[in-house]
Amino acid sequence: MWHHWLGTDSGNSAFYLFYSGLFGVLVVGGSLGLNAYVTARKHNCHQPGCWRVGHLPVDGTPFVVCHRHHPDPPAKETITKRYHLYLGDKPGKG
């Protein structure tokens, strides 16, 4: 019975159905899960246990943290000012 579920009971060779069935699902599913974890770990806050998106760099370190864990988060006026400086004379923006 387990031969049928594992895909080793028939086919051209002993493990043909296993490699094209269950093995493929495990490999693809595992790689997608690993990619999701690595992407989330790269872009989330570096504070342990925090799953917010980190987009504020901490000076002097390679860490990126969220607005809640940043030691000196920028004020809303500073962000707006930087945004308008970035836009400059671009037509149709801001």
- Count how many domains the chain has: 2
At 54, the amino acid letter reads: G
| Residue 7 and residue 22 in contact, taking contact as beta carbons nearer than 8 Å | yes
Same domain, 51 and 78: yes
What's this model's pTM, rounded to 2 decimal places?
0.45
Q: CA–CA distance from 20 to each of 2, 27, 28, 33 (Å)?
A: 17, 11, 11, 20
pLDDT at res. 94 = 53
40-79 pLDDT per residue, tens? 778 888 888 888 888 888 888 888 888 888 877 777 777 7
pLDDT above 70 for 1: no
Same domain, 53 and 20: no
Domain that holds residue 8: 1-43
Same domain, 71 and 34: no
**pLDDT: which is higher, 29 or 11:** 29
Retrieve residue 58's tokens: 């901490």
Neighbours of 17 (CB within 10 A): 19
16-49 pLDDT per residue, tens? 777 777 777 788 888 888 888 888 778 888 888 8
**41 HSE (CA, 13 A, CB side):** 6
